[in-house]
Amino acid sequence: MALGPDGKVQILFVCTGNICRSPMAEALLKQRLNPKFRKRVRIVSAGTHAMEGLPTTMKAQSAAAQFNVDLSSHRSQPLTPWLISHSDLILAMEPEHVEMIRQLDPTSGPRTFLIAEFGLPSDSLEGFYEIMDPISGDESVYRRVYQELAEETDRILPSIEKVIESAE
């Protein structure tokens, strides 16, 4: 594992616009990660089609706020080859995001996963499972996506902590 210049493991969440799903996932992991690991990791997010500097949608902020998570300071950033190459673990929401990541950096394959497949044995993966984009949905859709991401975060947390521990 190639640690950044500051010795931290970088975990990158990727969605399309970096204004709904990946900021939610970023905030969830920051909130739920064991405090003993927090100083050893940098958690960021980006979008395959993101514009620089946009806030999360109001519906995303509202859904997260219902679970005591504040997304108001998040600003979107586009996915770049530099960001990919400096990330030790990349978790994407959809297969199309994985494809884009691998196109931008062909060496990223071994560290790039769908969030829903990370930490699962390869023989248990049947097809794929993506986190739905809530962008055109109402607040109930955003809440459902947030809850789904919370469940995935809880499921993958032990695997993420192993990644951080193995970087020492």
Which CATH number covers residue 76?
3.40.50.2300
**What does the pLDDT read at residue 129?**
79
Looking at 40, 42, 102, 133, which residue is catalytic?
133
Give the separation between CA 82 and CA 35, rounded to whole angstroms. 28
3-class secondary structure, 46? strand
**What does the pLDDT read at residue 6?**
76
pLDDT higher than 70, residue 19? yes
Kindly state whether residue 115 falls inside one of the protein's structural domains: yes
Strand 41-47 relative to strand 9-15: parallel, antiparallel, unpaired?
parallel
Kindly state whether residue 123 falls inside one of the protein's structural domains: yes
Cβ atoms of 161 and 29 within 8 Å: the answer is no
pLDDT higher than 90, residue 27? yes
Give the separation between CA 76 and CA 35, rounded to whole angstroms. 26
Nearest to 115 by CA among 150, 87, 144, 71: 150
In degrees and rounded to multiples of 5, residue 35 shows phi and psi of -50, -30
Maximum C-alpha span of the chain: 43
pTM of the predicted structure, to 2 decimals: 0.94
* Section 154-166 average pLDDT: 93
Domain range for 134 is 9-163
Domain count, the chain: 1
Share of the chain above pLDDT 90, in %: 84
Q: If you search the block for the tokens 């050893």, which residue do you land on?
A: 40
**What does the pLDDT read at residue 42?**
96
Instruction: Locate 155 and state its tokens.
Output: 């499921």
Kindly state whether residue 90 falls inside one of the protein's structural domains: yes
3-class secondary structure, 134? coil
Kindly state whether residue 3 falls inside one of the protein's structural domains: no
Kindly state whether residue 65 falls inside one of the protein's structural domains: yes
Q: Which DSSP letter does residue 54 get?
A: P
Kindly state whether residue 44 falls inside one of the protein's structural domains: yes
pLDDT band at residue 73 under the 50/70/90 scheme: very high
Tell me: the pLDDT tens digits for 98-155? 999 999 999 999 999 999 889 876 655 555 678 999 999 999 999 999 999 999 999 9
Could you confirm whether 20 is annotated as catalytic?
no
pLDDT higher than 90, residue 33? yes
Looking at 20, 21, 88, 143, which residue is catalytic?
21
Neighbours of 109 (CB within 10 A): 12
pLDDT higher than 80, residue 37? yes
Kindly state whether residue 4 falls inside one of the protein's structural domains: no
Neighbours of 73 (CB within 10 A): 9
Kindly state whether residue 38 falls inside one of the protein's structural domains: yes
**What does the pLDDT read at residue 119?**
80
Could you confirm whether 133 is annotated as catalytic?
yes
**What does the pLDDT read at residue 7?**
79
